[in-house]
Amino acid sequence: MTREELLALVNKEVDTTKFKSLSQKTINEELDDVLEDFGDDEAANAKLVTKLANRLKRMDGNLHKNVSDEIKKSKEEAERKKKEEEEERRRREDNKDDDPDDKYSKLLEKIEALEKANAERDKKAARNATIESVKAGLKDKFDKANLEMKNYFLNAAIAKLEIPDEDADIDDLVSKAEKIYTAEYKEATGENGIPAKGQRSSGGGSSTDDDKFMDEVAERRKKRYGGGEDKK
């Protein structure tokens, strides 16, 4: 009897093509192991076929169960690990405020923010100090030259002056502020230079009051460039 003939007899009792786990290689090996047991006794041969068919069916069932059990075990292990990781993540989230490293990081952030605020404050204070020094220097220069100073033009000059954040040269800034002041004054008044203290302007005024002075400047600009009420 050949392997193929024995397989045909076995398939009459159990369809091996429907086995879920047992491979054809294993089936063939089982068939080969019993081929020499077959003889001329048909009844004995039939018992051997039935016995072999049952064994193959049992082997497939056991193997299928083992595979299923391993798959189930693997899934359960994966779910267990996933659950443990999720619990660990929640635990870290719950204990985040108690984490020394996290507290240290937050403290560093606060210190850096405080240092930045202090640096900005110091920078602003230094700039204001420079501005006051330039104003004082320019006023002193005008006083020594006996020139009249108007706060309007002084503030305009300071506003246009480029002041460095550090290493400011006050003398240089005073000279630049003086040039800006002079240019602004000439542009606004139409005069050739800054008048001496107490000198009566071309408009007849000699007041040191800035508001009155600017009214006089506005009046002179009207006369110079035109303006006033429309004539009907």
104 inside domain: no
103 inside domain: no
113 inside domain: no
Domain count, the chain: 2
Report the mean per-residue pLDDT for the chain: 81
Question: What is residue 96's predicted lDDT score, i.e. its pLDDT?
Answer: 63
Judgement on whether residues 137 and 48 belong to the same structural domain of the protein: no
Packed helices 210-225 and 151-160: angle between N→C axes, nearest 10 degrees: 80
3-state SS, the chain, equals CCHHHHHHHHHHHCCHHHCCCCCHHHHHHHHHHHHHHCCCCHHHHHHHHHHHHHHHHHHHHHHHHHHHHHHHHHHHHHHHHHHHHHHHHHHHHHCHHHCHHHHHHHHHHHHHHHHHHHHHHHHHHHHHHHHHHHHHHHHHHHHHCCECCCHHHHHHHHHHCCCCCCCCCHHHHHHHHHHHHHHHHHHHHCCCCCCECCCCCCCCCCCCCHHHHHHHHHHHHHHHHCCCCCCC
Judgement on whether residues 16 and 81 belong to the same structural domain of the protein: yes
The residue among 42, 75, 90 that closes a domain is 90
- In the chain, what percentage of residues exceed pLDDT 70? 82
Between vectors from CA 161 to CA 155 and to CA 167, what angle results, nearest 5°?
120
pLDDT digits (tens, 9 = 90+) for 50-92: 998 898 888 888 877 777 778 888 888 888 888 888 888 888 7
Judgement on whether residues 77 and 132 belong to the same structural domain of the protein: no
User: What is the rounded average pLDDT of the residues 93-116?
Assistant: 77
User: What is the rounded average pLDDT of the residues 15-37?
Assistant: 85
- In the chain, what percentage of residues exceed pLDDT 90? 14
Judgement on whether residues 133 and 213 belong to the same structural domain of the protein: yes
Question: What is residue 211's predicted lDDT score, i.e. its pLDDT?
Answer: 62
User: Please, which pLDDT band fits residue 230 given cuts at 50, 70 and 90?
Assistant: very low
Question: What is residue 182's predicted lDDT score, i.e. its pLDDT?
Answer: 93
Query: Per the structure block, which two tokens stand in for 180?
Result: 């800006």
Question: What is residue 90's predicted lDDT score, i.e. its pLDDT?
Answer: 84
User: Please, which pLDDT band fits residue 175 given cuts at 50, 70 and 90?
Assistant: very high
Residue 134's Cβ-count burial label (10 Å; 0-12, 13-18, 19+) is buried
Segments forming the whole domain that contains residue 45: 3-90
Phi and psi at residue 14, in whole multiples of 5°? Answer: -150, 125
pLDDT digits (tens, 9 = 90+) for 139-159: 998 998 899 888 989 999 999
